[in-house]
């Protein structure tokens, strides 16, 4: 497996007055998926002997498990019939992986002690690139949100029993179009799960799952919302769309959403956006082959990372701050930027 070694950028976050530094090279590059990369997920699991693992999902239906120590594939998982893998997520127990594919299956993998078996699956009601979302409800129970049967619906399941909790369908006069991205979360002071949904009409809505109702909806974009991420500590989120802008929005104590600001970028198309676990920076995956890095509090642009030769489909952060990006060019770049201090 070929990889490229690069220098590491370990500088602290620049002061607000400092000019952006020149674009660095990736720390290393992973090759060998032989297909466009559509999903990435870091996991610090025992299987990697303390070194984080990186899961990647590809257009050809394969899931690769990478060792970041050897920078090679440990295992390849194949259960999506050659259909694109669009979402990957490990569960709180650590040894279970969810993979969502365009074969209308969401597979639950048992990775305990080298096992690579599908132990259960959820049949999805609709096709598309809307990734699911999970919320832990304890060590053994979790809530799952996935696109529903109707074009504008979201299905909520209790897992692992696959019990249907409810179907969230917008009001008859709302007409937001298809759900494009989902984010389950729960306030520290509440036991009620909430769901943020980015829709085809460019709006973002907050659903109260217990009451089956929309608490608030705000128009963020003029094009479909391709991705969103939410900082529950700051009750502030960010979304990207097919247009040339990121929208930053907040949630007040009355659970009302409002757009704080928009940040225009050079070229249209943000396929993915992620806030780093330390809430200091965020990264976007651009159709223009660029990764953009911003200071999360101020939205000051920090870097434009130009390495890939085709559209970037996904970005992911590890708990230690490593950033990975997956592209149509079949490569995964891994970056160490503004390391946490």
* Chain segment 201-221, per-residue pLDDT in tens: 999 999 999 999 999 999 999
Residue 191, sorted as left (phi over 0), alpha (psi -120 to 50) or beta, turns out to be: alpha
pLDDT value at residue 131: 95
pLDDT of residue 101: 96
pLDDT digits (tens, 9 = 90+) for 57-98: 999 999 999 999 999 999 999 999 999 999 999 997 778 999
129 and 218 together in one domain: yes
Same domain, 307 and 179: no
120 domain-assigned: no
**What SS3 string covers the chain?**
CCEEECCCCCCCCCCCCCCCCCCCCCCEEEECCCCCEEEEEEECCHHHCCCCEEEEEECCCEEEEEECCCCEEEEEEECCCCCCEEEEEECCCCCEEEEEECCCEEEEEECHHHCCEEEEEEECCCCCCCCCEEEECCCCCEEEEEECCCCCCEEEEEECCCEEEEEECCCCCCCCCCEEEEEEECCCCCCCCEEEEEECCCEEEEEECCCCEEEEEEECCCCCEEEEEEECCCCEEEEEECCCEEEEEEECCCCCEEEEEEEECCCCCEEEEEECCCCCEEEEEECCCEEEEEECCCCCEEEEEECCCCCEEEEEECCCCCEEEEECCCEEEEECCCCCC
Q: Do 252 and 298 have their domain in common?
A: no
State which residues form the domain around 281.
1-31+265-341
Same domain, 150 and 259: yes
Same domain, 341 and 279: yes
Stretch 274-280: mean pLDDT, rounded?
A: 96
Same domain? For 186 and 211 the reply is yes
Same domain, 196 and 260: yes
In terms of domains, do 243 and 271 share one?
no
The answer on 140 and 248 residing in a single domain is: yes
What is the number of domains present in the chain? 2
Q: Kindly report the CATH number assigned to the domain that includes residue 316.
A: 2.130.10.10
Q: Is the pLDDT of residue 46 over 70?
A: no
Residue that finishes a domain, picked among 219, 244, 264: 264
Residues β-bridged to residue 214: 207
Distance of CA 243 to the CA centre of its chain: 19
On the question of pLDDT at 167 being above 90, the answer is yes
In a domain, 116, yes or no: no
**pLDDT surpasses 80 at 316:** yes
Residue 134 lies inside a defined structural domain of this protein: yes
Residues 222 and 293 in one domain: no
State whether 260 and 134 are in the same domain.
Answer: yes
137 with 238, same domain: the answer is yes
Using the predicted structure, report yes or no on whether residue 103 has a pLDDT greater than 80: yes
| 194 pLDDT more than 80 | yes
Confidence band for 48, pLDDT divided at 50, 70 and 90: very low
If pLDDT is split at 50, 70 and 90, which confidence band does 52 have? confident
């Amino acid at each position: 497996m070929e990889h490229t070694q690069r220098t590491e950028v370990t500088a602290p976050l620049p002061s607000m007055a400092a000019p952006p530094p020149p674009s660095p090279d990736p720390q290393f590059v992973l090759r060998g998926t032989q297909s466009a990369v559509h999903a990435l997920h870091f996991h610090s699991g025992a299987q990697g002997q303390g070194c984080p693992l990186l899961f990647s999902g590809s257009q050809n239906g394969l899931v690769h498990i990478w060792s970041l120590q050897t920078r090679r594939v440990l295992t390849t998982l194949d259960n999506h019939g050659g259909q694109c893998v669009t979402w990957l997520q490990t569960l709180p127990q650590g040894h279970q992986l969810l993979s969502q594919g365009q074969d209308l299956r969401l597979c639950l993998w048992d990775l305990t002690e080298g096992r690579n078996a599908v132990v259960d699956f959820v049949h999805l009601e609709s096709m598309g690139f809307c990734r699911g979302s999970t919320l832990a409800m304890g060590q053994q129970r979790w809530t799952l949100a996935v696109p529903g049967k109707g074009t504008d619906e979201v299905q909520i399941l209790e897992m692992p029993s696959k019990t249907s909790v409810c179907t969230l369908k917008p009001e008859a006069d709302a007409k937001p179009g298809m759900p494009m991205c989902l984010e389950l979360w729960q306030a520290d002071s509440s036991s009620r799960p909430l769901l943020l949904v980015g829709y085809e009409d460019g709006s973002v809505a907050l659903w109260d799952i217990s009451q089956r109702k929309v608490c608030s909806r705000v128009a963020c974009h003029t094009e479909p919302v391709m991705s969103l991420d939410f900082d529950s500590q700051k009750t502030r989120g960010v979304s990207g769309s097919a247009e040339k802008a990121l929208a930053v929005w907040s949630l007040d104590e009355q659970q009302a959403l409002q757009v704080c600001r928009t940040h225009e970028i050079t070229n249209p198309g943000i396929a993915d956006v992620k806030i780093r676990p330390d809430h200091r920076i965020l990264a976007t995956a651009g159709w223009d082959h660029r990764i953009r890095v911003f200071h999360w509090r101020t939205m000051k642009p920090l870097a434009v990372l130009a390495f890939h030769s085709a559209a970037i489909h996904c970005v992911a952060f590890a708990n230690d701050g490593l950033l990975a990006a997956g592209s149509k060019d079949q490569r995964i770049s891994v970056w160490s930027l503004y390391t946490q201090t």
